[in-house]
Amino acid sequence: MISTLRRGLLVLLAALPLMANAVAAPSAHDIIDRTTKELLADLAANKEQYKQSPSAFYDALNGIVGPVVDADGISRSIMTVKYSRTATPEQIQRFQENFKRSLMQFYGNALLEYNNQGIVVSPAKDESGDRTSVDMQVKGNNGSIYPVSYTLAKINGEWKVRNVIINGINIGKLFRDQFADAMQRNGNDLDKTINGWAGEVAKAKEVTEEAAEKQAP
């Protein structure tokens, strides 16, 4: 009897890792919904502090949004194979950091001005494959409704954000085009393009804001 119990216990212990892996990971829809709610709740509680401390705001954004974003995949996609295959690991890592920081700084400012007029995450779509999208509608300060669509890819069993389309503007494509243009302007100097990436993000912000203004009533 005891030996049977021991064997049973050993089998259970051996199976625990498999059972852990079998637990369903959050769906793409749940990840976007949960992250959005967590971000808005954090902003509501700490907005005034973040206005006084941009670094604290960046850290908070990175802590909430960072884990659900495929920063490596996005960075390589923006650089494209043409440039990423010749980039050193240090250059790719530096571009990732510059990309995340500049993106959160520029778009984070817009978040600080957002008064949570209303965000609705659309019902879940088919998530049976390795890619899916999650849509939402964001009500702006001017009352206009802006469509947002997140593209997610399944990486090591977890959904990660790979791209976002804001009000019809494909941000990934916009950044790829800007990276290629910057490389051309900089004489294919990768370091110069990486170090000046904040300026490229600022241009992208202008493009999205102009599109939003055209849609405004």
Per-residue pLDDT tens for 141-161?
Answer: 788 888 999 999 999 999 999
Domain ranges of the chain: 24-215
d(Cα 77, Cα 87) in Å, to the nearest integer? 13
List phi, psi (to 5°) of 187.
65, 35
Superfamily in which the 24-215 domain is placed by CATH: Tgt2/MlaC (3.10.450.710)
Decide: 43 and 72 in contact? Cβ < 8 Å.
Answer: no
Per-residue pLDDT tens for 26-35?
Answer: 899 999 999 9
Whether residue 23 has pLDDT greater than 80? no
DSSP string, 4-52: HHHHHHHHHHHHHHHHHHHSPPPPHHHHHHHHHHHHHHHHHHHHHHHHH
Task: State the pTM of this model.
Answer: 0.80
